[in-house]
Structure 1
Amino acid sequence: MTGVAGRPSLLRRPATWGAVLLAGLLAVLGAAWVTSLVPGTVSVMSMGYPDLGGGPPVAHEMPDGTSMAGAAHAGHDEPSVAALASIVDVTDLAGPPDGAPDVRMTLTAEAGTIELGTGERLEGYTLNGSSPGPTIEAVQGELVEITLVNASVPDGVTLHWHGIDVPNAEDGVAGVTQDAVPPGSSHVYRFVVEDAGTFWYHSHQVSHEQVRRGLFGAFVVRPEAQGELDVVLPVHTYDGLRTVAGSSGTSFHEVPGGTTARVRVVNTDGASMQVWVDGAQFRVVAVDGRDLNAPTALDDVTVPVSGGGRVDLEVPVPESGAVLIGLGGGSLVAVGPDDPGRALAAPPAERLDLLTYGSPAPLGLDPADADRRFDYTIGRRPGFLDGRPGLWWSINGHLYPDVPMYLVQEGDVVVMTITNSSGQVHPMHLHGHHVVVLSRDGVAATGSPWWVDSLDVHDGESYEIAFVADNPGIWMDHCHDLRHAADGMVAHLAYAGVTTPFLLGGEAANHPE
């Protein structure tokens, strides 16, 4: 059809413009799809973009041997030749190579059947034939040597020491600090436990599957060889079955009457939980392996435990009967000389706010004089993740792998603001460091210094945290709801001059999440 003077009819123009717009949209989507693809073999050092946090440039070694500093991205000068010449491999950041260990253990990982203490049988993974694996116990300052043997876990396995600030080479992250240990092979970890506290260990290879299916255990470091009476309670959910210390439902832990028990609760799940005590006043004496200052007695209140986090409760044990510990999900633990055989009361309505609990004490750092200030803004947006369309987690508006690499120098005081507008809670976990909470939603902390390695950031919340960069390496900074991490909620903290020879994917098939 033609119009006046033989010109094409205006009736055809909408279709023409529609075709142009469609072609443009397809081009944009195609470009987004291509840039989202993660190579089958890639170094974490080449992923994302450098973030200097307003600080000076940092030497950052690329896997091909070239160096960068993020200076072009931040308007700073490039680092000096001397800085670029002092590159350190993560394998050099290891524990003591010599000396007889004070604690030595072999942990053998197998695929097979888990038999719980209450008789249920599940298919999954075990360590030394059980799940949870053996509780590792040590005294502060001791040298620990753990040999991991992979008997039959097909995807390979590692061990990460959650909350223990080990040297970087001992961190157990597949593709970053080591290769996954294939079936028939082994790997030795050696490190000194510098801090007393309640910790745990788990695989960091295909962790969203391997942890859920059984590859984890508790790790207790005491300040001295003869300590208080301990009750260690790792909480774990196997495909909907809630367990405490390897048993479902109700369990009884015999403790002499008239004593004081230290109840160590370890949340190995990705979801936050509430803990409460029925039958006695109690105190929260530690969070994530760090003692609180001047904690006061509590009653009729629940205590939050972040995904991956731990709390230590000091509980007086009655002369007869038992104190009941509620752990959510129908789990109940009785602690005392006699099983009381009574039901647990409903959880209290009031929740403890750790922002105001206890008394202030020196932090050992000055956040007002921070060397670097970072933002970790958690959102959700449509896009492609490794070529898959969907609604994905974002970090500072970017989708994995185009996420920030936070760059620091040893000795830096770092302040980070974590903001969540994603619609879900995220337990944030920085490897190799503990951070102190400065404020929540602009309200300053007024209680005991609240040091954490796993921090629940709820939707709509904003936390300001601080730490000293005192443990050189390349460290994951990710959500410990491991399903979220597998869906791209992973960034890294990298120190000046540190690089890694290990690769994601590759022949070792390294997949840390």
Structure 2
Amino acid sequence: MPSRRDILRYAAVGSAMTIGLGAGALAWSGTLLGEYSVMDMGAGGEHAAHAGHDASASAAGAGVSVTSLTADPDRPADVHVRFVVRQEPIDVPGGRRVDGFTVNGTSPGPEIRATQGDLVEVELVNESVTDGATLHWHGIDVPNAADGVAGITQDAVPVGGRHVYRFVATDAGTYWYHSHQVSHEQVLGGLLGAIVIDPAGTSAPEPATDVDVDVTALLHVYGGEHTLNGRAADERVEAAAGETVRVRVINTDQGTAAVWSAAPFRVVAIDGHDVNASTDVNGQRLLIPAGGRADVAVRVPSDGGAVRLQVGGARGVIIADSSHPEASAPPATQPQDTLDLLSYGSAEPLAFDPTAPDRSFDYVIARRFGVIDGRPGNFWTINGRMFPDVPMFHVREGDVVRMHLRNDSGDVHPMHLHGHHVVVLARDGVAASGSPWWVDSLDVHPGESYDIAFVADNPGIWSDHCHTLPHAVDGLVAHVMYEGVTTPFTINGEAGNRPE
């Protein structure tokens, strides 16, 4: 039975189709997907030629299966976690009961805490998620076999099934995990949680990141109810006067989250990468894309007062002197000015030269009317093509890759590349001048363009998609494929794999 939203969309598209056919103004195309492999996606040599090599080389020889791209199978785990996922109602504290998904009986699921260099092993057991489930480690550059994308790196885990993920926590930082099976339903429904990787060693941290108290602030909307760490309420944090609190803000929602305060704060990390020489932010808001994270440092007032860090608009983290735990701080008006991360902090050299890339690609987002799998709609296009006939970005291990993102649509798109972090080189032709802006989730606003770069140092087949997940369902997803890598998994087949 189609939903009310689908009925309205079909009606609108039907009207547009009638008008378009009458006026000859709309070019329609249709696709029936059925079962397919991402190995068959892309427009063949056209996109490969743009990359400067022959796409057929990617399939040459027997290839390396994604299933073989794993962490050391003989190394014992330093951190072992068992997650049981269920499809069940969630009683949101301070809110209402909603239908959703839980991990070990809660949503958000338990926070995983590891130390840089640890081998993390997570056993996923599906007790009752009827469509199957996976776990994707958002922002962590895991080996491809552990990426958790149904139909690309594994089959969805059915009810009664289990799957083990293993990866080395190479990079310290703030990350999160979520299902990548029917993700537009399961992520919205709460099958997710936080993962924090602490730095290794005992050497003193940089002054800008020196903190006394460390807290997580995970944002999620359950059935229209804005929550912070799973509660429809503010979060209170106690610390001594003069101490610094690190607030790890994780945006698990479908839109951009704003962070601001009446007091100065510092942005000490973005998407798990430290900001070089961060400075106080005053009278500006920080915007975090869907899927993105930001670590913010706030100092407790020496006069025994409280500081309120507004996160996501509806909720706040109230940081108070432990000797005055009930001190309050009223919400401050959201600033109109936005902190520009293109120029925030101080520049430092990159470990590679993005001015001499081995591969250069365009990723141009627009939309047009069409039909995908019998669904009429105004679908997203990539480089003028509609899913699944979208580019496959072919690379070789060791390549320096440069990509030009351009948004010719009317919506914001938080673009997320799996398995890699990218560095922002320029926005709308203006070169980055601050701390190297490393991201795995990047908001591209209507009319904006970005130049980004990364080193292809993690072999596999990797999704590169919009993290407003309904956009991915409607075709805003492409892939980066390493030469010689293959996958035995398919989408829409007997295993029921539906990654988006």
Q: TM-score, length-normalised on structure 1?
A: 0.87
Aligned to 1:43: 37
Which residue of structure 2 lines up, in the alignment, with residue 307 of structure 1?
Answer: 290
Aligned pair partner of 2:223 in 239, 245, 266? 239
Question: How far does residue 54 in structure 1 lie from its aligned partner after superposition?
Answer: 3.2
**Alpha-carbon distance, 1:98 to partner:** 1.8
Within the candidate set 405, 415, 423, 2:410 is matched to 423
- Residue number in structure 1 paired with 2:466: 479
Q: Residues 269, 152 of structure 1: CA spacing in aligned structure 2 closer, same or farther, 3 A cutoff?
A: same
State the SS of the aligned residue for 2:281: coil
Which of residues 141, 145, 152 is equivalent to 2:117? Answer: 141
One-letter amino acid of the counterpart of residue 393, structure 2 = Y
Residues 60/154 of structure 1: CA separation in 2 closer, same or farther (3 Å cut): farther
Taking the aligned partners of 1:423 and 1:243, their CA distance within structure 2 comes to: 28
Q: Give the deviation of 1:368 after TM superposition.
A: 1.4
Tell me, what secondary structure is at the counterpart of 1:335? strand
Q: Is the 8 A contact 1:287 1:312 kept in 2?
A: yes
Maintained 8 Å contact 2:85/2:126: yes
Q: Which amino acid aligns with 2:493?
A: G
Task: Specify the SS of the correspondent of 1:295.
Answer: coil
Residue 175, structure 1, aligned to residue 151, structure 2: yes
Matched, 1:122 2:98: yes
For residue 368 of structure 1, give the secondary structure of its aligned residue in structure 2.
Answer: coil
| Runs of 5+ consecutive residues of structure 2 not aligned to the other structure | 1-20, 203-210
The code of the aligned residue for 1:187 comes to H
Instruction: Return the offset for 1:388.
Output: 2.0
Asked if 1 retains the 8 angstrom alpha-carbon contact of 2:55 and 2:394, the reply is yes
- 1:161 counterpart residue number: 137
- Counterpart of 2:195 in 1: which secondary structure? strand
Answer yes or no: is 1:103 the counterpart of 2:79: yes
Distance 1:322 1:339 in 2: 9
Alpha-carbon distance in 2 for matches of 1:346, 1:60: 56
Secondary structure of 1:49's aligned partner: coil
Work out the CA distance in 2 between the residues paired with 1:87 and 1:328: 45
Shift of 1:59: 4.8
Q: Report the equivalent of 1:75.
A: none
Choose the corresponding residue for 1:397, options 384, 394, 403.
384
Distance of 1:335 and 1:508 partners within structure 2: 48
Counterpart of 2:164 in structure 1 is: 188
Pick one of 323, 327, 342 that aligns with 2:307. Answer: 323
- Structure 2 CA distance for aligned equivalents of residues 127 and 267 of structure 1: 18
* Partner residue in 1 for 2:126: 150
What secondary structure is seen at the aligned counterpart in 2 of 1:148?
Answer: strand
Describe the superposition over 1:267-300 as per-residue Cα deviations: whole angstroms up to 9, x where unpaired: 001201110123x322101000001111111222
For 2:363, the equivalent position in structure 1 comes to: 376
Aligned residues: 463
Specify the code of the residue in structure 1 equivalent to 2:220. Answer: H
Shift of 1:257: 3.1
Identical counterparts, % of pairs: 55
- Counterpart CA distance in 2 for 1:155 and 1:471 is 29
Contact 1:150 1:186 in 2 (8 A): yes
The ranges of structure 1 where at least 4 consecutive aligned residues each deviate by more than 4 angstroms after the TM superposition are: 58-61, 225-228
* 2:256 counterpart residue number: 272
Spell out, residue by residue over 1:147-201, the C-alpha distance to the aligned partner (whole angstroms, 9 max, x if none). Answer: 0010000000000000000000000000000000000111000110100000000
AA of the residue aligned to 2:276: N
Q: Secondary structure at the match of 1:485?
A: helix
Name the amino acid aligned to 1:190: R
Aligned CA-pair RMSD = 1.8
Q: Is the 8 A contact 1:60 1:499 kept in 2?
A: no
Q: 1:282 aligns with which of 261, 265, 268?
A: 265
What TM-score results when the alignment is normalised by the length of structure 2?
A: 0.89
Once the two structures are superposed, what CA deviation does each residue of 1:17-61 show, in whole Å capped at 9, x if it has no partner? xxxxx89x9xx96xx33xx1102x211101222422432225556
Task: Please tell me the residue identity of whatever aligns with 1:96.
Answer: D
Partners of 1:427 and 1:480 within 8 A in 2? yes
The offset of 1:341, in angstroms, is 3.0
**What SS does the aligned partner of 1:200 have?**
strand
